[in-house]
Structure formats: structure tokens, C-alpha cells
A and B are shown apart, each in its own frame.
Chain A
Amino acid sequence: MPQVRGHHDAGVGIMVICIASGKGGTGKTTIATNLAVSLIGKVQLLDCDVEEPNAHLFMKPEIKHTERVTTPIPEVDLDRCDFCGKCAEICQFSAITVIGKKVLTFPELCHSCKGCMMVCPQEAISEKERELGVLETGLSGPVEFVHGRLRVGEVMAPPVIDRVKEHIDAKKIAIIDAPPGTSCPVIAALKGSDFAIMVTEPTPFGLNDLKLAVGAVCILGIPLGIIINRCDVGDNRVVQYAREENIPILMEIPDDRKIAEAYSRGIMMVDIMPEMKKRLQAVYHRIRELVG
């Protein structure tokens, strides 16, 4: 299970910051990667957008270690099976079924609860591994880099996210790049974080999805702040919303073709605008104050 720490222990000097947004394409990865390289001290970047991981395109890490991420699924020994059907009865996900003298399993529906293995009176069901994706770890300069990649065609993202988060090092500042949305993969990425940075854009879509994502962060009881990207496009309703909800605005980044073009080539924002490093360091200090 993930060794995710609880809320920030004041004075320890380290924390887990998750970058989320609701809406996709608002600049989560830009903030996560640039924050990671701007901070002073031991930092790790964990890309938990395992469906579409992109942080590596900017961090260009040297990958030192690759491992398969698997999940246990049932394997039925038909010599032992007496076709009683108890496995099908306990399974809430219709991942195993008994028809006459046949047992069918549907690995992609299996949630790895092991209920079928526990309930089988003949002990005919054992574990086998199903591959969900891969996990890669490495270094990008001084920053420790970890990401997961869900196998194409695979549905179960949360177990891959959990495995990425097992690499959270309590002695480092951990920056998590979360997937878009508000459902289970986002919750898996956010859970256990000390602070959430919500990256949004001041448009109706940005605001609508921000509100949903803030709802998810609040359910988890994580303190949060907002970064408004391309702050000069759209309207001012995000600012109004933040004021009404008392959510701190940590940073505003104007729309700039230079940033967009650098992004399109996989170039870090701080490489074309070195002054951004100081601004991101200030964001971190603000977060320390808010959490502390």
C-alpha cells in the first residue's frame, strides 16, 4: 500500500503537493515540472497522470529503473473445482462465472479483492498476475523522477497511481502531477497530499471544472490554493469564485505565446523565463505558510 503520509508535520520541512485542475490542458504539467526544478532542497516529481503522462517530455529524466505494475487475478484449477459457483456469487464485478462444467474469468473486470480465492471451498483458485502498466524511476538533474504508464487498452488506472505514490520519500518535497477530472484516478493522486494546487484558466469550462475539483479536494480535507494560467483571457469569474470561497490565489500567469511555443517543443518555462523560478519559490513559501 502507498506509504502516504498524513497532513504536514510543521517543522519537518518537507511536504507532498499535488497539482490538480479538473479541466485538462490548463497547465498542470507546466506548473508541476517547473515547480520541481525551481525549489531548493531535495525534490521529487511523481507523474500520476498514468493515462497520458507528459512530465517526462519536459524533465527528460535518465530512467534508471523500470518495473512492471501488476495486479492479482484468479486462476482456476479445473481439476480441483467442483463448479459450486460460490466464486461467481461473491464477485461484485461479474469477473468470474460458472457455466455448467466451465469457469470463465474476465480479468479486465477483476478488482483484485481476492474474494473468490477466499470463498472457494476446494481451494481451487490461486493468484496470477495481470499487467496494468509500467513504473519508471530516474533522475532529472537533482530531481528524483517517477512516473507510471497505464498499458494501452487497460482500464484500471488507480492501482498504477498507488504504485507511483509508494515512491514518495518523506525526506523530500514531493510534487505530484495529477490527471484531469474528478473521479477515482484524481482521488488516488490527491489522497494523502498536504496541499493541492489547482491550476485553472479563467474561462467558463475552467471555472466549472475547477469547482468540481475543489469539491473533491474538500472531501479529502486537503488545504488548497489556485494558480490562474492565461489569466488575461476569458473573464474574471474565477477570481470572483476564489474570493467568495476564500481560496488563496497563489499565482497568475499571463497568456504568452513564448510560453506556449516553448511548451509545444517540450521546453521548460523557467528555461525561457528564468524569473519564473523566483515566483515559483514564492508560491512554495506561501504554501508553507498556509499549511504550517
Chain B
Amino acid sequence: MNPTTTNLSASIEFYILLSCVLFTIGALGVLVRRNMIVLLMCIELMLNAVNLLLVAFSTYYGQGDAQIFVFFIIVVAAAEATVGLSILIMAYRNNKSTDVGLFKTLKD
């Protein structure tokens, strides 16, 4: 576990802290907000927090593979956003609202 001599202006802890904060903001947003579009944005924020963490670790270890992983995550996030927005539009056509709280037909 020898950190390579790269020019990290801040130490790795700050990056971990920052991405944890971003991730928590995203997670709390998913749990608290009711608007579907905001929910989608919060999930994207969580994924981007992960991207930041991976890039920071990649620089810390001096390996490239985490950066490749980030590209995969970006592609998957794009695919997810595409599917998510189309589901959102379908749900909006049925319910005429973007409030997730209105979707309670399915329950015990």
C-alpha cells in the first residue's frame, strides 16, 4: 500500500470525505424528495460521488483501472437515465403528475 508520488494537492482523506458527503446528499435526496425528476438527479449525484471516489483512489494507487471503471459507470448511468426518463414519461402519462407519493395502487 505505498502511495505513489503523484501531485495530489490534497490528501486522499479529503477526497473520501467529499465523495461521502456527496453520496449522502444524494441518498438523502432519494429518501426525502417526492419529485421523480429530482429523484433521478439524486441517483446521478450518488453515481458521480462514486466516480469521484474511484478517480481519487486511482490516482492514489497510481493505477489506471479505476478510471476505466469510471467510464463504465458513466455509460451505465447514461443507459439508466435513458430508461428512467422513458419510464418517468410513461408514468406521467398515466398519472399526470411527477409526484412519487401518488403511486400507491400496488400495496397489501
Partners in one complex: no
Could you list which residues of chain B lie within 8 angstroms of chain A, going by C-beta atoms?
A: none
Could you list which residues of chain A lie within 8 angstroms of chain B, going by C-beta atoms?
A: none
